[in-house]
Amino acid sequence: MALSPDHLTARELLELVCDRGTFRSWDAPVPAEPRAAGYAADLDRARAKTGTDESVLTGEGVIHGHRVALMACEFGFLGGSIGRDAARRLVAATERATAEGLPLLAGPASGGTRMQEGTPAFTAMIGITAAIARHKAAGLPYLVYLRHPTTGGVMSSWASLGHVTVAEPGALLGFLGPRVYQAITGERFPDGVQVAENLYAHGLIDAVVPPNALPRVIARVLAVLTGPAGNTRPIGVPAYPAQEPASAWEAVTRSRNPARPGLRQLLRYAATEVLPLNGTGRGEADHGMLLALARLGAWPCVVIGHDRRTGQRGTPFGPAALRQAQRGIRLSRELALPLVSVIDTPGAELSREAEEGGLAGEIARSLAELMELPSPTVSVILGAGTGGGALASLPADVVLCARHGWLAPLPPEGAAEILHHDPGRAAEVSAGLGITASALRAVGIVDAIVPEFDDAADEPRAFCERTGREIERSLATLHGIPEAERLAARLDRYRR
């Protein structure tokens, strides 16, 4: 695989990412071992060519003030292939990062396992993967920058496990390199499939990032995940003017206003750091659901929510959106971060594709995962909350609702059709469904109502900032409650 002239070596990547002069190597010399004559000669040539003693370099550095463990492949050393010595080095670096409580950044660029060492090198991928799994189980961030090219056993193991994964523009990324594919199958692999941009389009990676922008992206991730906690004292409760409860049909019609602020505006005005993530990581993306890492005041958190774009009422979403939300739930669990879920949807997609894609099962799995999630959870009914799609994001320790938010098993038109065979009676029927913020508060489904003066569409920034403060206040309250007590209270809420 020919590399472009500006392709970075492992050392250049490490120096680029780290603040000037902060990188320190962790690598011990590779022990001398007997090798077949041809392989020994290959190693000597690789060392002379690259100035490195193996295909991986590891160490630590500082990225925008954050101490980080790093490991990177040197593709010029036998195609960045991973043999037993390289695997031992990667395992040792990962275990040290775990022991020292450091986030870990990996920069693979490799054709896979080292053929000269055969199956022992192949099975060494298991040990690297296990070390990464232990690092993540410790609640420590694992970030991956996929470089050109990354294929084979590396792509199929430690390169595909990042909490956040970004890739070099145009990078060849895949299970099997095209040259090997052609040798095995006798056919040419289709163009444009194994490239970073196509992986992004299919929800497999979070962004395509040129090397010179990588330090800034990593710094944004670390600012959310490992930044200073800030002031975690509870926020005082402001005295809002009293408001009459909104009628059901008023809530429905106001929530459908295309000018009403949605999740993106909430994050723009209420969060200090936001890093959008992309897709399920498993080959799907649904833009009806937004997934992001964010910092709301002092609180780093994972945010999942229905995505109402400016000027739109919101779009239905399918099974992939729920699997994307489940990725957010996993991130919350693995990184021990609070989860904030935002409900603002006309409902789940009604289609053959959604049925065959397992929509009902994904709603059930989302409900189960939210009920069992050990992290503190806050859900916000920001606007319309329709059907099982809304229910799938609801279970939480604290539930907030905007004054004109509402929650119902069906749109009022659907309920009117069921009850009276007349969708035109939707306004009449909505009054008896118990869907408004005040009705939900009265029966304990909602804990607090976020005021609107008079309508969120008329005061988008103030409304979003007010909602953000209510989320912060809820997170501060939950922070002091032991996990077992929180989980028991969450279960009791829905048993009642």
CATH number of the CATH domain containing 28: 3.90.226.10
Are 456 and 331 within one domain? yes
Are 22 and 67 within one domain? yes
Instruction: Kindly report the pTM of this predicted structure.
Output: 0.91
Here the tokens at position 138 are 């410790």
Asked whether residue 426 is assigned to any structural domain, the reply reads yes
Summarize the confidence of residues 444-454 as an average pLDDT. Answer: 95
pLDDT of res. 6: 57
Asked whether residue 413 is assigned to any structural domain, the reply reads yes
Are 266 and 366 within one domain? yes
Burial class (CB in 10 A: 0-12, 13-18, 19+), 62: middle
Q: Pick 458 or 230 by higher pLDDT.
A: 458
Query: Structural domain tally of the chain?
Result: 2
Query: Strand 164-167 relative to strand 207-208: parallel, antiparallel, unpaired?
Result: parallel
Summarize the confidence of residues 228-257 as an average pLDDT. Answer: 78
Are 137 and 220 within one domain? yes
Query: Buried b vs exposed e over 103-124: b needs ≥16 C-beta within 10 Å?
Result: bbbbbbbbbbbbebbeeebbeb
Are 407 and 480 within one domain? yes
Are 256 and 381 within one domain? yes
Closest CA to 147 of 170, 175, 129, 128: 170
Among 166, 191, 225, give the residue marking a domain's end.
225
pLDDT tier, 145 (very low <50, low <70, confident <90, very high otherwise):
very high
Are 444 and 303 within one domain? yes
Q: Pick 33 or 322 by higher pLDDT.
A: 322
Are 213 and 283 within one domain? no
Asked whether residue 2 is assigned to any structural domain, the reply reads no
pLDDT of res. 346: 87
CA dihedral 242, 439, 309, 378 (to 10 degrees): 90
pLDDT tier, 233 (very low <50, low <70, confident <90, very high otherwise):
low
pLDDT of res. 227: 58
Give the type of residue at 320: A
- Domain range for 370 is 248-495
| pLDDT tops 70 at residue 312 | no
Are 316 and 407 within one domain? yes
Asked whether residue 410 is assigned to any structural domain, the reply reads yes
| pLDDT tops 70 at residue 225 | yes
